[in-house]
């Protein structure tokens, strides 16, 4: 009996050593443990997708800065698109080390497969990739909409950070309300308009259906200039500016230089505007469209400093 117990004990010890060895081998190889392979269901524009509980290599394809939503909840993407290999200025530090993909209207499936992502988040512009890759790569498709918050929440849900994403919005709305209240105390019902001067025309932003409009007129509660488009905005010529005459102009031009920019800002029409005459033009460095919470927070701070001197 003693010999049998001794043999049994040795067998148990041997089995434990094998299990420990397997665990060590798994950790050394970098292979994920079984629990990290578990998935959850995310509903999106194209249906439902099983995504990893904790994705490690997230690739984002979008012409708006959704990567800022990931960063805001502590998720660093693996690869995102970049103009001329440069990330949006407001995310330059946050995206250090992230793989830069060229800005393009189309990507081949092979380009994405080579990145070997465990989660692909794409805008509706890249829907063909869903049909080509969804069977092999968990893919979430989101429509770029007028409400940046809806996009933000879907992105954070896709990476398992929905509650954190909601908290980001709550904190931003609270901060914007406080800043807006102080601005209104200073300027009263003076009117505002946002513009972006392009290479051939001028974008006059409206009052709805764009992240810029929501920041100024919903979050901050500022008074829009009379006659602004009720939708996301419109492109106008230099002469087209004459129908607007706001007290304040928020300038979110990306390139504050060039022949057309100089023609506008040095021209008679621009310099006849009330806001220009009164030195109430505020040129922001956050100019990506305010589609993500990182830029929105930095934009709020810029507006606060420019209008309130804080």
Q: Are the CB atoms for 134 and 150 separated by under 8 Å?
A: no
Q: Are 250 and 193 part of one and the same domain?
A: yes
Q: Are 138 and 207 part of one and the same domain?
A: no
Residue 78 lies in a domain: yes
Residue 272 lies in a domain: yes
Q: Are 51 and 144 part of one and the same domain?
A: yes
Return mean pLDDT, the chain.
89
Domain count, the chain: 2
SS3 category, 185 = helix
What number is the average pLDDT over the span 6-27?
45
Residue 29 lies in a domain: no
Angle among Cα 264, 266, 269 to the nearest 5 degrees reads: 60
Residue 251 CB: number of other CB atoms within 10 A?
17
Q: Give me the domain span that covers residue 156.
A: 39-160
Under the banding of pLDDT at 50, 70 and 90, the label for residue 183 is very high
Checking if the pLDDT of 133 tops 90, the result is: yes
List of residues 6+ apart from 303 with CB closer than 8 A: 179, 183, 220, 250, 282, 284
C-alpha of 138 from chain center = 20
Question: Closest by alpha carbon to 62, among 160, 147, 140, 162?
Answer: 140
Q: Are 58 and 141 part of one and the same domain?
A: yes
Last residue of a domain, one of 110, 134, 160: 160
Q: Are 190 and 126 part of one and the same domain?
A: no
**Whole-number Å distance between alpha carbons of 24 and 219:** 52
Residue 172 lies in a domain: no
Q: Are 106 and 55 part of one and the same domain?
A: yes
Q: Between 23 and 298, whose confidence is greater?
A: 298
Q: Are the CB atoms for 89 and 285 separated by under 8 Å?
A: yes
SS3 category, 258 = coil
Q: Are 239 and 142 part of one and the same domain?
A: no
Checking if the pLDDT of 273 tops 60, the result is: yes
Q: Are 138 and 191 part of one and the same domain?
A: no
- 200-223 residue pLDDT tens: 999 999 999 999 999 999 999 999
Question: Closest by alpha carbon to 47, among 177, 141, 148?
Answer: 141
Which residue is associated with the tokens 């995102």?
80
Checking if the pLDDT of 198 tops 90, the result is: yes
H/E stretch holding 21 reads helix 2-29
Across 196-212, b (16+ Cβ under 10 Å) vs e yields bbbeebbbbbbbbebbb
Under the banding of pLDDT at 50, 70 and 90, the label for residue 83 is confident
Q: Are 60 and 132 part of one and the same domain?
A: yes
List of residues 6+ apart from 199 with CB closer than 8 A: 258, 260
Q: Are 94 and 181 part of one and the same domain?
A: no
Checking if the pLDDT of 6 tops 70, the result is: no
Write down the pLDDT at residue 24. Answer: 42
Write down the pLDDT at residue 251. Answer: 97
Q: Are the CB atoms for 32 and 57 separated by under 8 Å?
A: no
Residue 155 lies in a domain: yes
Residue 276 CB: number of other CB atoms within 10 A?
15
What number is the average pLDDT over the span 261-271?
96
Residue 149 lies in a domain: yes
Q: Are 60 and 139 part of one and the same domain?
A: yes
Q: What's the longest Cα–Cα distance across the chain?
A: 106
Q: How far is CA 166 from CA 67, 121, 143, 302, in A?
A: 16, 19, 19, 23
Checking if the pLDDT of 80 tops 80, the result is: yes
Write down the pLDDT at residue 256. Answer: 86
Checking if the pLDDT of 146 tops 80, the result is: no
Residue 22 lies in a domain: no
Q: Are 182 and 148 part of one and the same domain?
A: no
Last residue of a domain, one of 104, 131, 160: 160
Write down the pLDDT at residue 310. Answer: 67
Residue 55 lies in a domain: yes
**Whole-number Å distance between alpha carbons of 119 and 78:** 10
What CATH number is given to the structural domain containing 194?
3.40.50.1980
Last residue of a domain, one of 160, 191, 212: 160
């Amino acid at each position: 009996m003693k010999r049998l117990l001794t043999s049994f004990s040795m067998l148990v010890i041997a089995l434990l050593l094998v299990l420990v060895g397997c665990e060590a081998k798994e950790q050394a190889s970098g292979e994920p443990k079984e629990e990290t392979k578990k998935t959850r269901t995310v509903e999106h524009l194209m249906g439902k997708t099983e995504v990893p509980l904790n994705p490690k290599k997230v690739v984002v394809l979008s012409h708006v800065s959704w990567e800022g939503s990931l960063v805001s909840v502590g998720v660093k993407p693996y690869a995102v698109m970049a103009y001329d290999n440069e990330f949006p200025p407001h995310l330059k530090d946050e995206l250090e080390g992230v793989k830069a993909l060229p800005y393009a209207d189309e990507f081949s499936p092979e380009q994405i497969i080579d990145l070997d992502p465990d989660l692909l988040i794409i805008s509706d512009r890249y829907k063909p990739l869903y049909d080509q890759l969804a069977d092999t790569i968990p893919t979430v498709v989101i429509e770029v909409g007028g409400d940046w918050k809806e996009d933000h929440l879907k992105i954070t849900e896709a990476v398992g950070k929905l509650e954190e994403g909601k908290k980001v919005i709550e904190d931003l709305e609270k901060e914007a309300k406080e800043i807006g209240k102080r601005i209104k105390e200073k300027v009263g019902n003076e009117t505002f308009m946002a513009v972006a001067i392009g290479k051939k025309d001028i974008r006059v932003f409206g009052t709805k259906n764009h992240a810029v409009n929501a920041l100024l007129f919903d979050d901050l509660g500022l008074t829009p200039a009379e006659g602004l488009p009720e939708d996301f905005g419109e492109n106008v010529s230099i002469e087209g500016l004459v129908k607007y005459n706001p007290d304040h102009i928020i300038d979110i031009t990306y390139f504050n230089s060039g022949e057309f920019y100089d023609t506008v800002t040095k021209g008679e029409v621009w310099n006849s505007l009330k806001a220009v005459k009164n030195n109430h033009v505020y040129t922001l460095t956050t100019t990506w469209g305010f589609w993500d919470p990182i830029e929105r927070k930095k934009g709020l701070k810029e507006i606060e400093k420019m209008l309130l001197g804080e």
